[in-house]
């Protein structure tokens, strides 16, 4: 029986090869969300986030290939990546016969201040599928109010709203509590130090709401969600809260230990 609802400590390429062997080569991940280190010199517990360009691209190809091998035929593969390597991720995806369905921009507030250039306030999320004729896209559960509904009172409006655009900005009600007071800001913030959601041990923690949208639209209850770069355990937490199974992989023993503690309480987070 598959190892599920667990965080495995190790190198994702090795762990995925081992998991595939244990399942006799049968792909098992219905949805993969990967948020790798961006090679920007971020300080992680164990991983060195500043390697030679060619080495990083070679490694990206290797882990993306390992992910493709475990992705089911109807599965989707979402990669969060920064400006510096988004083009490479898109090209590697094509070389691996993945079909890109969207190039999403997650626009967030609380970008870092800069003096000599514009402050970065986005991350790319590339949404691939293996088979563009056979994939899960549960549009009904992720719809948002449309201008036809809210502004024009147009009878043609879909009663459940519209499928969100590919620039992701969540509504105030969907934002972390600490930010909701500012109703004028329709941004989907990064998880900052003061937010209740912040687990406190990982600097790159993603908002659970972001993962919630991806998991809701691209998987069904009971499906297996894989995160090869689990970090603080956000994907597992969102998957568990939404009734999906998860398999999370993380190289740092420290992050694994702390994310397991977080995940034990995950069902109470939503």
Should residue 35 be labelled a site residue for ligand SAM when binding is judged by CB under 6 A?
yes
Asked whether position 204 contacts ligand SAM by CB under 6 A, the answer is yes
H/E element, 225: strand 224-227
Residue 46 interacts with ligand SAM (CB under 6 A)?
A: yes
CB contact at 8 A, 228 and 33: no
In the complex, least distance from residue 130 CB atom to ligand SAM, rounded to whole angstroms = 22
The first and second tokens of residue 150, run together, are 């809210």
Task: Looking at residues 130 to 149 of the shown chain, list those that interact with ligand SAM (rule: CB under 6 A).
Answer: none
- Tokens representing residue 212 in the block: 């919630």
Is the CB of 224 or the CB of 256 nearer to ligand SAM?
Answer: 256
Q: How far is the CB of 128 from ligand SAM (least distance, A)?
A: 18
Give, as ranges, the residues between 88 and 127 that touch ligand SAM (CB under 6 A): none
202 binds ligand SAM (CB under 6 A): yes
Stretch that binds ligand SAM, among 39-47, 81-89, 126-134, 171-179 (CB under 6 A): 39-47
Q: Which residue has 């507030």 as its token pair?
A: 109
Query: Which CB sits closer to ligand SAM, 12 or 98?
Result: 12
Q: How many CB atoms lie within 10 A of CB 74?
A: 17
Could you say whether residue 51 binds ligand SAM (CB under 6 A)?
no
* 26 φ, ψ (degrees, to nearest 5): -85, 120
Q: Smaller CB distance to ligand SAM: residue 76 or 205?
A: 205
Q: Which residue is nearest to ligand SAM (CB)?
A: 231
Among 219, 252, 258, 266, binds ligand SAM (CB under 6 A): 252
Residue 264 CA, chain-centre distance (Å), reads 20
Which residues, in sequence order, are CB contacts of 140 under 8 Å at separation 6+? Answer: 160
Q: Burial level of 173, CB count in 10 A (0-12/13-18/19+)? A: exposed
Residue 87: count of CB within 10 angstroms of its CB = 11
Alpha-carbon distance of 71 to 128, in angstroms, equals: 11
According to DSSP, the β-strands at 71-81 and 29-34 are parallel
Site for ligand SAM in 212-251 (CB under 6 A): 228-229, 231-232, 234, 249-251
102: three-class secondary structure by DSSP: strand
Per CB under 6 A, the segment of 36-44, 126-134, 170-178, 217-225 that binds ligand SAM is 36-44
37 makes contact with ligand SAM (CB under 6 A): yes
DSSP 206: P
Q: How far is the CB of 203 from ligand SAM (least distance, A)?
A: 8
Applying CB under 6 A, the residues found at the interface with ligand SAM are 11-12, 35-37, 44, 46-47, 202, 204-206, 228-229, 231-232, 234, 249-252, 255
């Amino acid at each position: 029986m598959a190892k599920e609802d667990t965080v495995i400590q190790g190198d994702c390429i090795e762990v995925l090869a081992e998991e595939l062997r244990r399942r006799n080569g049968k792909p098992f991940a219905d949805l993969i969300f990967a948020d790798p280190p961006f090679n920007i010199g971020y300080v992680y517990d164990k991983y060195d986030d500043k390697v030679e360009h060619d080495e990083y691209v070679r490694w990206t190809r290797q882990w993306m290939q390992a992910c493709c091998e475990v992705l089911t035929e109807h599965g989707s593969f979402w990669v969060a990546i920064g400006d510096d390597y988004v083009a490479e991720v898109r090209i590697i995806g094509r070389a691996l016969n993945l079909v890109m369905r969207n190039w999403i921009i997650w626009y967030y507030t609380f970008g870092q201040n800069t003096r000599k250039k514009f402050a970065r306030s986005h991350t790319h999320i590339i949404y691939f599928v293996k088979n563009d004729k056979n994939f899960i896209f549960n549009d009904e559960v992720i719809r948002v109010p449309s201008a036809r509904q809210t502004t024009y009172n147009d009878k043609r409006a879909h009663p459940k709203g519209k499928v969100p655009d590919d620039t992701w900005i969540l509504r105030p009600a969907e934002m972390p509590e600490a930010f909701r007071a500012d109703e004028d800001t329709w941004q989907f913030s990064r998880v900052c130090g003061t937010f209740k959601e912040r687990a406190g041990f990982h600097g790159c923690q993603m908002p659970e709401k972001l993962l919630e949208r991806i998991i809701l639209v691209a998987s069904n209850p009971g499906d297996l969600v894989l995160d090869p770069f689990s970090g603080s355990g956000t994907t597992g937490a969102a998957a568990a809260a939404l009734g999906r199974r998860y398999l999370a992989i993380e190289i740092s023993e420290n992050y694994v230990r702390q994310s397991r503690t977080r995940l034990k309480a995950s069902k109470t987070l939503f």
